[in-house]
Amino acid sequence: MKNYSSYKDLYVALKSNKTSCVQQTKLYLQKIEKNKNLNAFIQVFEKSALDASKKVDEKIKKGTQGKLAGMVVAIKDNICYKNHKISASSKILTGFESLYSATVIEKLLKADAIIIGRLNCDEFAMGSANENSIYGPVLNPHNNNKVAGGSSGGSAAAVAAGLCLVALGSDTGGSIRQPASFCGVVGLKPTYSRVSRHGLIAYASSFDQIGPLTNNIDDAGLVLEVIAGKDDFDATVSNNPIGKYNEYKYKDSPKKIAYIEEILSHSLLDKEVKSLFLKKIDKLKKEGHFISSISFPYLDYLVPTYYVLTTAEASSNLSRYDGVRYGHRAESSSDLQEMYFKTRTEGFGDEVKRRIMLGTFVLSAGYNDEYFTKAQKIRRLIYDKTKQIFNDFDFLISPTSPHTAFDIGVKYTDPIKMYLEDIFTVQANLSGNPAISVPIGVDSKKLPVGMHIMSSHFNEYNLLYFSKKLSNQ
């Protein structure tokens, strides 16, 4: 008996009685136990997963199964699942159990997916290495001395190690795509507003987006098809129609593809990553695609703009964690003010405190116009320039990360180095465009390298099709 690496193969096996949902779930449970050293899972929902798998097996026998029947999914520890614990990998939410399920969870369950557990992540999704977690770092399945990436490192590692078929992550500045690149899997960030954020613990509300991490493009498209769409609980969700994202009826004509020249000459870009990227460009040219280098004058403004705006939103969003209503509460406080201070000091990790303080500063009187308002104006320039690119080109490509996975503990104490991890991915969050990371090879250390592909807003259909063609090369 084996686990399947694509839902298409699994579904055929389930329909032909070569396997069952219960058997698949038990195999994953065994693998999770065997690979505990990766620290990808915070909690395994063994009982509820097995109960669900039995029900789905019955539905398959009757022919009443949903679109994702038997798909075993794990979820990042910032996505709510009713009557299950959630902590955002933070002490301040220790012991908290969700009273409701996120919209994406409701949609997965309705489609008969089986949710097997919650996954480690950077605290409140703030990080690029999955080292900012009360549960400790996630290890990269390709090399246990390397980080898995962040903040959805547990999600990427779980899929790469075969501990689940699909994982859900969240992406604020690259938190799905960068760990996908480090772990050699597919990571999709949909267009902002394509997927409901209801039930996602907020970091930066105008940036956050839920998306899948998978072994292949087809599974990413199928999951997006299920979780996308309007939601009465999230007023920001788009009403744009949802496509059949893995049923391709697409003209296989040459595409106009751009890459940013400043990225290839950037001092952070590793030589081997650059070489693999250029080889892929050469191959695309030989297949008839039109490839052009373009200048993007705001490249050096991306990361500063991103961190001014996201920390400001985080300062507001995280003010609710005060020890009064739920989660951790400090003991032996003489008054309410001291209780707030002690609770937040004890409950938040260093990186979360750093971002809250930075966000409070940029919003403070005297500095709001100098930092926050100016960053909003620059974001608009970035949005307009990105939109202009897609008036002329079908896709914008780059390496997902400047380098492959780095050693655990190396950059953890240097916030500036960690913030620069997002340099190739934050544009898609600032502009709201859909983007995906697909594996394109390995470096000399056998560590995965990912290619980053962006398209115009709500153009996931073409983005997925092109990514599939590219990843099959």
Residues catalogued as catalytic: 76, 151, 175
**CB-CB contact of 383 with 309 (8 Å):** no
Structure tokens at 168: 């859900």
